[in-house]
């Protein structure tokens, strides 16, 4: 996220309600607190089931995924996506990987698709796997046209690999803003 100017900071402060620390936005007559977050999924490439990275049977697990099953708790608007990889080694797991390797050709030449009732994003992995020198962590995220993943409704993230996957590890991170409903009205 870019540096805020004084004018932008004052605009944010003007949206703070008495006693609140987060600015409030009104969407369709409902107040929400927007908060920046990163949703992530990690695993071994050769253990991907039927091209699906998000599965209804997979619960949140620290270091592996912060997406519970195949749904989110809050409306989530992705703004950027990145992928990192780790070459296969003995005993490699999603939690033990350092994610510092280049993408293998089956990943680099493959695609990622995010859908909920319709395709929301379909991207080549080559643009998500920035293994080049960057000037900041933010440079690693490929910016996407914003779309909304609705809460409490199944969504999918699927791969289309260009070949047979090995036992290397992958990390998919989706940067964005989630909108938490203001329960205090």
Among the residue ranges 9-18, 34-43, 69-78, 164-173, the one predicted with the least confidence is 9-18
Taking only the tens place, the pLDDT of each residue in 74-119 is 999 999 999 999 999 999 999 999 999 999 999 999 999 999 999 9
Taking only the tens place, the pLDDT of each residue in 120-173 is 999 999 999 976 555 555 568 899 999 999 999 999 999 999 999 999 999 999
User: What pLDDT does 105 receive?
Assistant: 96
pTM: 0.87
CA–CA gap between residue 54 and residue 67 (Å, rounded): 8
CA–CA gap between residue 9 and residue 31 (Å, rounded): 20
Beta-carbon neighbour count of residue 167 at 10 Å? 13
Q: How confident is the model at residue 31 (pLDDT cuts 50, 70, 90)?
A: confident
User: What pLDDT does 81 receive?
Assistant: 95
């Amino acid at each position: 996220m870019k540096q805020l100017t004084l004018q932008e900071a004052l605009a944010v402060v003007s949206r703070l309600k008495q006693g609140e620390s987060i600015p409030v936005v009104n969407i369709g007559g409902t107040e929400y607190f927007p908060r920046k977050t990163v949703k992530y999924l990690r695993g071994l490439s050769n253990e991907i089931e039927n091209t699906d990275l998000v599965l209804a049977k997979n619960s949140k697990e620290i270091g592996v995924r912060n997406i519970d099953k195949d749904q989110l708790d809050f409306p989530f608007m992705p703004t950027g996506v990145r992928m990192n990889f780790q070459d296969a080694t003995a005993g490699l797991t999603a939690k033990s990987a350092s994610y510092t390797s280049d993408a293998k050709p089956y990943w680099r030449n493959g695609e990622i698709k995010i859908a909920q009732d319709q395709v929301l994003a379909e991207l080549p992995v080559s643009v998500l796997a920035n293994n080049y020198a960057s000037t900041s962590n933010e440079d690693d995220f490929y910016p996407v046209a914003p779309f909304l993943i609705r809460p409490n409704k199944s969504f999918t993230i699927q791969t289309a690999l260009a070949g047979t996957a090995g036992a290397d590890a992958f990390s998919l991170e989706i940067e964005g803003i989630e909108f938490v409903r203001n329960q205090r009205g």
